[in-house]
Amino acid sequence: MTVLPFGDAAVMMLWEFDNDDDGERIKGECNSGNTTSGVVVIVHMTNLILNGCGGREGLCWIKVKFRDFIPSILNVSRQCLASGEEDVAIIAFEIFDELIESPAPLLGDSVKSIVQFSLEVCSTQSLEPNTRHQAIQIISWLAKYKSSTLKKHKLVMPILHVLCPLLAESTNENDDDDLAPDRAAAEVIDTMALNIPKQVFPPVFEFASVSYQNANPKFREASVTALGVISEGCLELMKTKLEPILHIVLAALRDPEQMVRGAASFALGQFAEYLQPEIVSHYESVLPCILNALEDASDEVKEKSYYALAAFCENMGEEEILPFLDPLMGRLLAALQNSSRILKETCMSAIGSMASAAEQAFIPYAERVLELMKNFMVLTNDEDLRSRARATELVGMVAMSVGKTRMEPILPPYIEAAISGFGLEYSELREYTHGFFGNVAEILGDNFAQYLPHVVPLAFSSCNLDDGSAIDIDECDDEIANGFEGVSSDDEAHDEPRVRNISIRTGVLDEKAAATQALGIFAQHTTISYAPYPLLELLFVSFIS
């Protein structure tokens, strides 16, 4: 045997493995229930592969041996699960996790056995939540990093036949939400839809079409949850089936069970966000259902319905919204005064979208809305600052709808309140306030010049904030992958590249983007009045760097 530079202990182990009929003795120990020996071998083999030991020749040799060894790993794991030793099975899942994330093509045809085992585990309700979650994560990583492998081996359909029913699984209120199988299954289905939409949509649509009339409300809930979850990834396919899809979801919005109505309102919000502009053509059937949902007994259904209304109205015009404007505004104005803080925030977003859609038709409601917003724009408690941010945004949107003539005389107290908000150290409030200033500058034109000395320094200050961006690339990925050149593989090598860690303070980035946009609007609409301020070129160099 050629001695490879693995280290003495590893060489001995691999010598045994290579000189014992392709590892049959070690496999035999695993298959006979000697889990300790089996797990030690598994861990050592994995470490050798992932650490890139042995050079190209050694890595290719280990890869072939490891693929042969995977059935024994699965056999050990099944035995451990049967005897209650779930920790050993979790180790196997962690190993598969590492192999899937590796840039090297390590799985081969064994991916079918790994998926089958993972599906067995995640669908076994008697196992511990963490064990089942680890199994679902394997499917998630495969969908993210090896989607072409799933397609090649025709594994998408079997996976969805297990995961879609998991959406209907009841969870104990005391369970960790992050480990709940229904939530984990939804995340995996979402990932699959984003990566392989053509393969995902047909089985999910079939599941929804069958399950939405199920006597079990959990399955009715699962049917519309599944449609909502895939709407981003499968948007183009769903646009071609909007009528039957909406039939399912709108029926669920009238379901006697609150859980089903909540899932339906979530799905409708997702459709309104991702299936534009096609979904707007169905406004005559959708808006009456949303109108009814705004009076639901459940706050959860109301909140999701406000979100759906806001997203739906963003692409509507005055002619389309006008027949529904009065009843909708009646519901929303009442909610602004009598609802919880969270409901008020989503309600304000909905009113803003309606103001933008209705334009001049919103004038009869503007005075009442603006009067209510005064109360929100002076809030200073930490828990109320998000509401203040939403109110500030809404005033700007109303101003854009009703125009300069009506807004200019009443603007000063709103401008003053908006400027004072910068002393509260809340990034989202600053972000929305920059947007508000941009809206006001757009309608006032040169008359906004009086506010420039106050608002331009605030925008510069936001643009110069440190967003804390950092990206950590795993530099050894290419080296490890290169160790497998010339070795035939499945489609793994063509799947997603990996970035080990990304750190971004997204709130600050959003604030900086809003401030930059506001500066552009100031320059565009105040023209000569903006000339004395510093050139933006230096600012943008700092911002981009």
Q: Are residues 457 and 534 in the same domain?
A: yes
What is the model's pLDDT at position 106? Answer: 60
**How far is the C-alpha of 175 from the C-alpha of 319, rounded, in Å?**
48
Q: Are residues 457 and 509 in the same domain?
A: yes
Domain holding 539, by residue range, is 413-469+504-545
Q: Are residues 399 and 422 in the same domain?
A: no
Q: Are residues 360 and 374 in the same domain?
A: yes
C-alpha Rg value of the chain to the nearest Å: 29
Is position 370 within any domain? yes
Helices 385-402, 341-358: inter-axial angle, 10-degree rounding: 10
Q: Are residues 338 and 387 in the same domain?
A: yes
Split into its structural domains, the chain has a count of 2
Q: Buried b vs exposed e over 409-423: b needs ≥16 C-beta within 10 Å?
A: eebeebbebbeebbe
Is position 42 within any domain? no
Is position 177 within any domain? no
> At which of 395, 410, 425 does a domain end?
410
Q: Are residues 456 and 394 in the same domain?
A: no
Consecutive 10-residue runs of the chain (545 residues): their mean pLDDT?
40 44 47 51 55 51 63 79 80 77 68 91 89 90 88 94 93 64 94 95 97 96 97 96 96 95 95 93 93 90 91 87 93 90 92 93 95 95 96 97 94 96 93 97 94 93 75 47 46 52 64 92 87 58 47
Q: Are residues 434 and 390 in the same domain?
A: no
Burial-class residue 141 by CB neighbours within 10 Å (0-12, 13-18, 19+): middle
Is position 168 within any domain? no
Of all helices (H) and strands (E), which one includes residue 114? helix 111-122
Instruction: Based on DSSP, count helices (H) and strands (E) in the chain, helices before strands.
Output: 28, 2
What is the model's pLDDT at position 99? Answer: 72
Structure token digits, residue 314: 């963003």
> At which of 410, 429, 453 does a domain end?
410
Please, are residues 212 and 223 in contact by the beta-carbon 8 Å criterion?
yes
For 82, 169, 278, 324, the CA distances from 291, given in Å and listed in that order, are 52, 30, 20, 9
What is the model's pLDDT at position 7? Answer: 41
Q: Are residues 540 and 418 in the same domain?
A: yes
Q: Are residues 535 and 448 in the same domain?
A: yes
Q: Are residues 511 and 395 in the same domain?
A: no
Is this prediction's pTM over 0.85?
no
What is the model's pLDDT at position 429? Answer: 96
Share of the chain residues as helix, strand and coil, in percent rounded to the nearest 5: 75, 0, 20
What is the model's pLDDT at position 27? Answer: 45
Q: Are residues 393 and 324 in the same domain?
A: yes
Is position 198 within any domain? no
Q: Are residues 524 and 405 in the same domain?
A: no
Is position 265 within any domain? no
Is position 253 within any domain? no
What is the model's pLDDT at position 466? Answer: 78
Is position 89 within any domain? no
> At which of 360, 387, 410 does a domain end?
410
What is the model's pLDDT at position 480? Answer: 42
